[in-house]
Amino acid sequence: MHIIHSLNNNTVDEHINRNTAFLITNKKGNFLSLGRENFTHMQGLFFFDYDEWVPYKTVENIMLNQEMTTIKNNFFNVKRLYKDGAKESFNLFNESLVYSVKNYNGKIVLELDFRGMFDFDDKGRIYTITKEDEDFIIIKYEKFTDDSYSRIDKTRFLVIKGVKEFNLIKDWFKKTYSYDAWRMTKSEFYVYKALSIKVDNNLDLVFSFSDDKKKAKEHAQKVYDNREYFTSSIKKYVAHTFTIKDLALSTAMKALDDLLVSVESKERRVGVFAGLPWFYQLWARDELISLKAFMFQDKHYLVKSILFKYLDNIGGDGLLPARLPAGEGDVRSIDAVGWLFLRLKDYISFLSLKKMFNEYMSVYDLVKIKRTLERVILDMAHKHAVNGLIVNNEQETWMDTKPAKRKGACIEIQALFLAMINFHNYIASITKSKQLFKSLEKEHKERVRNEFFKQGVLYDRIHEQVLDTTARPNIFLAYYIYPDLLTKKEWMQAFDNALKDLWLGWGGLSTISHTSPLFRVEYTGQDDASYHNGDSWYYINNYAALAMHRLDKNYYEKQIKSIYEASKEEMLFSSFIGCCAELSSAKHMKSEGCLSQAWSAASFIELWHEMNR
């Protein structure tokens, strides 16, 4: 497959021999992902169900009877190119897909699979396909509660505008998805090969979705009539937003921008999906970590709205909910509140540097931040501390699986607590108020140094006063969050010792020492065994490279370059092209886990700016 990325007269390309696909979104939770063949059931055309808060699948695949050779990412649209000269283009607008095919004489085959992303019930599924007016196809989907077809659970409509001639196929068949099988999740689904649409050289179609046929038809007609205007609008947005000449940076910015959503549920929510296809929630930790990348793009109103959204959602225990909207049974997040105040400090620093502080922040805002921060520091110290260190239960840090075994006092959590204290002292200094926690910062810093730093090694965790000697990469987060914990010489000792245990030759860090009995060299998918015990996370890799660059870019030049190049190669030419995957197996660089992850893209953007300032 030939993969091309093209923007503002800059082009990069590569010929590859692995499964790839594109992913496009529309900032309303809808997305489309297709390639040569779908390797996960979470590809296809999805429309976001705001009531259920889940993507709802409609189209499984759109296929031409030619050999596909190329996927081209133009940023404002995506094209699939074929050996005999056919070209398809794809755009999403609101509740519609605009699809165009050129230089093709033959049939388009349409496969359907209406279902919520994790609705695996195959009972009572009926498609009825009719033609209305001159060029509308109406696909009515009825989901019955069982195979007796006595009670309808839901009805959905997919309307296709622009069809001149079609034939029904009406063939149910079983499809197996290779990536789902590899992840050991459900991988076999019954899909409906519904119809074929005749094309005489060129054809433009609009697909619109609703639970109301009239609305779907009206929307399809509106988008069809204005499709050139909508395409031009997206092209202008892309030209205005992605102006950097470096194509790798622009690609990461676009990957992150595609996860920025504004959805209407019981209330309007603006935020950043943690990832697609399956992390379609606003996870506090992921969203807050990702915010700094938006500061580089001067999206100051957006950043402030998200920061203050979380500032208003801190609970009585001093912590944030793991996600918004909160899910029943969610495990709390010990670190999200620390990331909130770290990003608030970044935000204030950005605005001050650009001399824009008074444009976006008020005295009231500062007072609110300071008072809330005071309460959180006290809550953390009184409700979440044992022997003077902040402690957490299993699954409360970013390593949130049981096999990670991170109960106790963890190094990055201590760094976040120190950063919160430091931030309060900073606000107190600029507001000329009392620094309530000046001595606390010094005392906690010394306690953490004495407990965690031994003979050149900065340890990851203490549990019940016992030092866990297993190496993990969280010390790089600790440096990023609170670099004043150690001296430069001490940090270099700590980094060097960690790299001996964690470095992967392809340009990444494993999440646990290679010598640990818990270490897994290959991604284990749905089974959490490798997730935080071997798998290499791109966001951690990027922050490790950033930390090494700040500490001593010449000494760590090889590691920094290797991480940067691996992250760039994965983003451009692997799996969901133009997206940054969640993680990779330790053994080889791959795109695994969730295939478009916000903090992977955001941390790459931060790393690029660090390396190019």
Burial status of residue 499 (CB atoms within 10 A of its CB: 0-12, 13-18, 19 or more): middle
pLDDT of amino acid 332: 86
Q: Average pLDDT over the chain, rounded to whole?
A: 95
pLDDT of amino acid 438: 86
DSSP state of 526: T
CA distance 337 to 340: 5
pLDDT of amino acid 154: 92
pLDDT in tens, 470-483: 999 999 999 999 99
Rounded to 5 degrees, φ, ψ at 443 are -65, -45
For the ranges 320-334, 347-361, 383-397, the lowest mean pLDDT is seen at: 320-334
pLDDT in tens, 120-148: 999 999 999 999 998 999 999 999 998 88
What CA–CA distances, in Å, run from 216 to 72, 136, 220, 257, 359? 29, 11, 6, 27, 42
pLDDT of amino acid 326: 77
Q: Which helix (H) or strand (E) holds 500?
A: helix 488-502
pLDDT in tens, 404-457: 999 999 999 999 999 999 999 999 988 888 888 989 999 999 999 999 999 999
Residue with tokens 């590859």: 16
Contact 406, 392 (CB under 8 A): yes
pLDDT in tens, 357-367: 999 999 999 99
Residues 6+ apart with CB under 8 A from 93: 26, 223, 230, 234
Would you say the C-alpha torsion 404, 410, 415, 416 has a positive or negative sign? positive
- Give residue 359's identity as a one-letter amino acid code: E
pLDDT of amino acid 265: 66
- Between 190 and 264, the more confident residue is 190
For the ranges 57-71, 231-245, 338-352, the lowest mean pLDDT is seen at: 231-245
Residue with tokens 């770290």: 342
pLDDT of amino acid 324: 79
Calculate what percentage of the chain has a pLDDT beyond 70.
100
Would you say the C-alpha torsion 233, 239, 240, 241 has a positive or negative sign? positive
Whether the pLDDT of residue 266 is over 70: the answer is no
pLDDT in tens, 156-165: 999 999 999 9
pLDDT in tens, 519-574: 999 999 999 999 999 999 999 999 999 999 999 999 999 999 999 999 999 999 99
Whether the pLDDT of residue 80 is over 80: the answer is yes
Whether the pLDDT of residue 168 is over 80: the answer is yes
CA distance 536 to 514: 12
pLDDT in tens, 276-305: 999 999 999 999 999 999 999 999 999 999
CA distance 284 to 299: 19
Per-residue exposure over 370-400, b if at least 16 CB sit within 10 Å of its own CB, e if not? bebbbebbebbbeebeeeebbbbebbbbbbb
pLDDT of amino acid 436: 87
**Average pLDDT score over residue span 46-60:** 95
pLDDT of amino acid 327: 76
CA distance 138 to 598: 36
What CA–CA distances, in Å, run from 50 to 17, 54, 139, 267? 38, 7, 21, 10
- Cα angle: 592, vertex 276, 327; to 5 degrees: 110
Q: Is 143 left (phi over 0), alpha (psi -120 to 50) or beta?
A: beta
One of 1.10.10.10, 1.10.3720.10, 1.10.1060.10, 1.50.10.10 is the CATH number of 263-612, namely: 1.50.10.10
- pTM score: 0.96
Rounded to 5 degrees, φ, ψ at 472 are -140, 165
CA distance 297 to 82: 36
CA distance 222 to 228: 11
**Average pLDDT score over residue span 383-389:** 96
Contact 389, 443 (CB under 8 A): no
